[in-house]
Amino acid sequence: GENVEQHPSTLSVQEGDSAVIKCTYSDSASNYFPWYKQELGKRPQLIIDIRSNVGEKKDQRIAVTLNKTAKHFSLHITETQPEDSAVYFCAASIGDNFNKFYFGSGTKLNVKP
């Protein structure tokens, strides 16, 4: 099955700085890569996603890049704010429609004011 690895496990940045979280996946058939933000005790919330036919996607302060050849994708958060502090998970999914997500181990981001 798919194996998703995520680094770093914790990340501490100063407010206003950028944060980068990286994930790798093992199955070249994976074609959908969402990123979720999860606050303590709450449900994961989708923040951005990318499909395998695209190399980069941006939504305001958040961007995701995908390198299919190397099988890795990254989350970039610019101008970080204290409210960005949470645990972020990457995931990979194989196939189209209703397919299983395999999650990375998570990154706890702490943005210091």
Partner 1 sequence: GAVVSQHPSRVICKSGTSVKIECRSLDFQATTMFWYRQFPKQSLMLMATSNEGSKATYEQGVEKDKFLINHASLTLSTLTVTSAHPEDSSFYICSAGTSGDEQFFGPGTRLTVL
Task: Kindly list the residues in this chain that would bind partner 1 in the complex (CB under 8 A).
Answer: 1, 32, 34, 36, 41-46, 49, 51, 89, 93, 96-106, 108
| CB of 22 or CB of 101, closer to partner 1 | 101
> Cα separation of 42 and 8, whole Å?
22
| CB of 63 or CB of 89, closer to partner 1 | 89
- Residues facing 58 on adjacent strands: 63
**How near is the Cβ of 19 to partner 1 at its closest, in Å?**
19
Residue type, 75: L
| CB of 49 or CB of 65, closer to partner 1 | 49
**How near is the Cβ of 16 to partner 1 at its closest, in Å?**
27
**How near is the Cβ of 92 to partner 1 at its closest, in Å?**
11
What lies within 8 Å, CB to CB, of 21 at 6+ separation is: 6, 7, 8, 11, 74, 75, 88, 90, 107, 109
Going 106 to 75 to 44 to 101, the CA torsion angle's sign is negative
| CB of 14 or CB of 40, closer to partner 1 | 40
